[in-house]
């Protein structure tokens, strides 16, 4: 798939994520809070496009998490609010790099090759991933409990992700098992909003924050578009 089309479907997946009715989150019916307006999600998705395109055009096996930091910063252009879709972008980044650097014809290829990506990464990737996360978390005082000291000892993302044991890093380290399950459960012939509402209720759990689940759902929709040419109905 061309960089232009990867960018386009990534923007679509993020822009439409908040539209379905997911109780307790921003939806087409209600903004969760004033800093999480529906408009902010749509604008953030559009703003992410330039760096995603640059990422997909960058030479294979080139350190690329510097663009993640830029992407998170730029998604604040021309909008109010605070942290909106940063976690979506952070989740998408290793997926996008794996699709760029390795031959992936299926979701199984993707997860297998993502381990290779983590092991092939470098200290610069480790530092830039953490900088992206820290910038994102610093946008709201309520996220202080998630702040961590920068790890400067790990030589690869594979090493780094094994030093942390919370839901966010565990999901990434295990190559997004929740995204894989969501992708496989997605009924692509169903109305998009109705299907997302069903999946949200089915996967809702005390083990994963609702907002993070919604972010992972956006990635599953992206992958359905990438592998299956999924059409929103």
| DSSP assigned state of 187 | -
Give the position of tokens 């946008």.
139
CA 92 to chain centre: 4
Element at 175 (helix H, strand E): none
Tokens linked to 36: 């999480």
pLDDT of residue 146: 61
**What mean pLDDT comes out for the span 82-90?**
90
Number of other residues whose CB lies within 10 A of the CB of residue 112: 14
| DSSP assigned state of 59 | P
**Rounded to an integer, what distance in angstroms lies between the CA atom of residue 134 and that of residue 144?**
10
pLDDT of residue 166: 79
Q: What are 11-36's pLDDT values in tens digits? A: 999 999 999 999 999 999 999 999 89
Please count the residues of the chain: 233
Q: What are 126-177's pLDDT values in tens digits? A: 999 988 888 877 666 655 666 666 777 899 999 999 988 778 888 999 999 9
Nearest to 107 by CA among 213, 180, 170: 180
CB 156 within 8 A of CB 120: yes
Question: Residue 56 pLDDT more than 80?
Answer: yes
**What mean pLDDT comes out for the span 194-205?**
96
CA 73 to chain centre: 15
Number of other residues whose CB lies within 10 A of the CB of residue 159: 16
**Rounded to an integer, what distance in angstroms lies between the CA atom of residue 16 and that of residue 28?**
10
pTM of the model: 0.94
Which domains does the chain possess?
3-228 (1.10.4200.10)
């Amino acid at each position: 798939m061309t960089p232009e089309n990867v960018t386009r479907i990534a923007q679509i997946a993020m822009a439409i994520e908040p539209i379905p009715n997911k109780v307790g989150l921003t939806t087409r019916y209600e903004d969760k809070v004033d800093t999480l307006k529906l408009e902010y999600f749509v604008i953030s998705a559009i703003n992410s496009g330039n760096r995603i395109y640059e990422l997909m055009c960058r030479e294979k096996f080139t350190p690329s998490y510097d663009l993640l930091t830029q992407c998170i910063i730029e998604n604040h252009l021309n909008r109010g609010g605070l942290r909106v879709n940063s976690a979506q972008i952070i989740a998408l980044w290793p997926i996008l790099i794996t699709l760029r650097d390795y031959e992936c014809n299926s979701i199984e290829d993707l997860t297998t090759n993502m381990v290779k990506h983590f092991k092939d990464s470098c200290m610069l990737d480790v530092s830039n991933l953490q900088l992206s996360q820290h910038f994102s978390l610093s946008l709201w005082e309520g996220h202080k409990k998630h702040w961590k000291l920068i790890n400067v000892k790990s030589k690869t993302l594979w090493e780094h992700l094994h030093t942390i044991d919370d839901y966010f890093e565990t999901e990434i380290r295990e190559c997004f098992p929740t995204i894989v399950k969501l992708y496989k459960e997605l009924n692509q012939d169903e109305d998009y909003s109705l299907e997302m509402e069903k999946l949200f209720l089915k996967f809702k759990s005390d083990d994963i924050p609702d907002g993070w689940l919604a972010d992972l759902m956006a990635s599953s929709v992206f992958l359905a578009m990438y592998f299956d040419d999924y059409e929103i109905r």
